[in-house]
Structure 1
Amino acid sequence: MQRIAVLDYGMGNLHSVASALQKVAPDDEVVLATNPDQAAGADRLLVPGVGAIRDCMAGFSEAGFGPVLRDAIDAALPVLGICVGMQIMMRHSEENDGVDCLGLFPEPVKFFGSDLKSDGERLKVPHMGWNQVWQKRAHPLWKDIADGSRFYFVHSYYVPAEGNVALAGETEYGVSLAAAVARENVFATQFHPEKSADAGLQLLKNFAAWDGRA
């Protein structure tokens, strides 16, 4: 049995993530960690996040999870980021008049804008709904997931796909955006796997089995 810590820093209801993990990894211990002591000894970390980036960064820092995350990365433990949990791993976000993030990836987080269009039609922001995700590199977390599978997104800010050296999955919503990024033992998704039916559950199952190597 392994221990999977879901980092709870006060941003969003994380029980759906924990429940989905427990469903796909019934023999593992899934814990909602609200402080570093509760995350200590975990075999893998999941970094979720919902809400404004400034609040998320403040909550993450105040909970003391910065060193926890960096220690896990240095120890080559598997790490999964979801939604804003992916965005806080970037260099900088345009949200809240600009917020510096953790800088685990060099890419920025950009606003979709108020005049986002596709084929001449205005698109709603936030982007909410199901989009196809195209796998841009082979990765263990894509195991048994068909290329072009649909995943569920909810977000107003995005990480660009163009020129993104960490790009692992791509989708389109007025612009080409990173649906997933990866480096070493870190994989992060803009979509919500826990809300993405069979494909999302398969990704979480893959995470629970991943050894942290690409």
Structure 2
Amino acid sequence: MVTIIDYGIGNLRSIEKAFGQTGAEVLRTDDPEVVADADRLVLPGVGAFGACIDEIRRRDLEDPIHAAIDRGTPFLGVCVGMQLLFETGHEKGTHEGLGVLPGHVVHFRDAEGDMPSDAIVPHMGWNTIEPTRESPLLDGFGDGAHVYFVHSYHPVAGRPDDVLATTTYGHKFPSIVQRDHVSGVQFHPEKSQAAGLRLLENFATQFHSTGSVHAA
């Protein structure tokens, strides 16, 4: 069973339907107890980092998310849901994230690296992912799989080993992160056609707990 955390913000119906296309059983919930006891957890998100983390906390979902991660529940963050895994987000101020992974989230033009002055932000449309290592999450992917992005901010990982794949838009940024059973994607798998559905199927069927993830 794949449990999608419903905190009132995110592409909930779209990602629910996408998991359904893979044959996975899907439950959408905002019940803290159900989240804490889930078999597999998905945290979607669109919009601003601060608004998303504030709503998670308002609904008393932060502790259940940590409880699930601490007991080894496979976890997937999508778009802003991936960004929330990090310590801080710098979007309209500075906001404390879930702190599962070390690092912070910045605007494309505030990140280290050359960003062409004529580059359009947000980064929107199809781009490629370049895996940095193997993972069950990427089973069936070769180099250069095309996926769909819509974002102005991206994470800067505090630990290079947490980066599972990168994408280049002006400069390289982490497009997939993974530490043990916790993962996140900056792109939208539910909008990424065959490649996105393959990733969701891999998460639902092949991505298993490999041990404890310690908070950053």
TM-score (norm 1): 0.90
d(CA) in 1 for partners of 2:166, 2:158:
10
d(CA) in 1 for partners of 2:74, 2:192:
21
Mapped pair 1:211 → 2:205? no
Deviations 1:52-79 (A, max 9, x none): 1111011111122212211111111110
Q: Is the 8 A contact 1:112 1:125 kept in 2?
A: yes
Choose between structure 1 and 2 for higher RCO, CA contacts under 8 A separated by at least 6 residues.
2
1:11 match: 9
Structure 1 residues 61 and 161, CA, compared in 2 at 3 Å: closer, same or farther? closer
Cα displacement (A) at 1:101:
0.9
Letter in 2 for 1:100: E
Q: Number of residues paired by the alignment? A: 209
Letter in 2 for 1:95: E
DSSP-derived class of the 2:26 partner: strand
Structure 1 residues 58 and 161, CA, compared in 2 at 3 Å: closer, same or farther? closer
d(CA) in 2 for partners of 1:161, 1:52:
19
Q: Is the 8 A contact 1:162 1:176 kept in 2?
A: no
Letter in 2 for 1:149: A
Cα displacement (A) at 1:38:
4.1
Cα displacement (A) at 1:117:
6.8
Q: Is the 8 A contact 1:130 1:153 kept in 2?
A: yes
User: Structure 2, unaligned stretches of length 5 or more?
Assistant: 212-216
1:185 match: 181
After superposition, where does 1:71-86 map in structure 2 within 5 Å?
Answer: 71-86=67-82
DSSP-derived class of the 2:92 partner: helix
Deviations 1:108-134 (A, max 9, x none): 1111128x976x561111110111100
Mapped pair 1:109 → 2:105? yes
Of 122, 132, 135, the residue aligned with 1:136 is: 132
d(CA) in 2 for partners of 1:162, 1:99:
17
TM-score (norm 2): 0.90
1:165 match: 161
d(CA) in 2 for partners of 1:111, 1:211:
32
Of 66, 70, 89, the residue aligned with 1:70 is: 66
Deviations 1:13-35 (A, max 9, x none): 3101000101102xx43111122
Cα displacement (A) at 1:97:
1.5
Cα displacement (A) at 1:146:
1.6
1:154 match: 150
Cα RMSD after superposing both structures: 2.1
Q: Is the 8 A contact 1:48 1:81 kept in 2?
A: yes
Deviations 1:86-119 (A, max 9, x none): 01111111101111111111111111128x976x
Q: Is the 8 A contact 1:60 1:66 kept in 2?
A: yes
1:88 match: 84
d(CA) in 2 for partners of 1:13, 1:152:
14
d(CA) in 1 for partners of 2:174, 2:71:
26
User: Structure 1, unaligned stretches of length 5 or more?
Assistant: none
Range with greater deviation from structure 2 (86-95 or 105-114):
105-114
Q: Is the 8 A contact 2:129 2:147 kept in 1?
A: yes
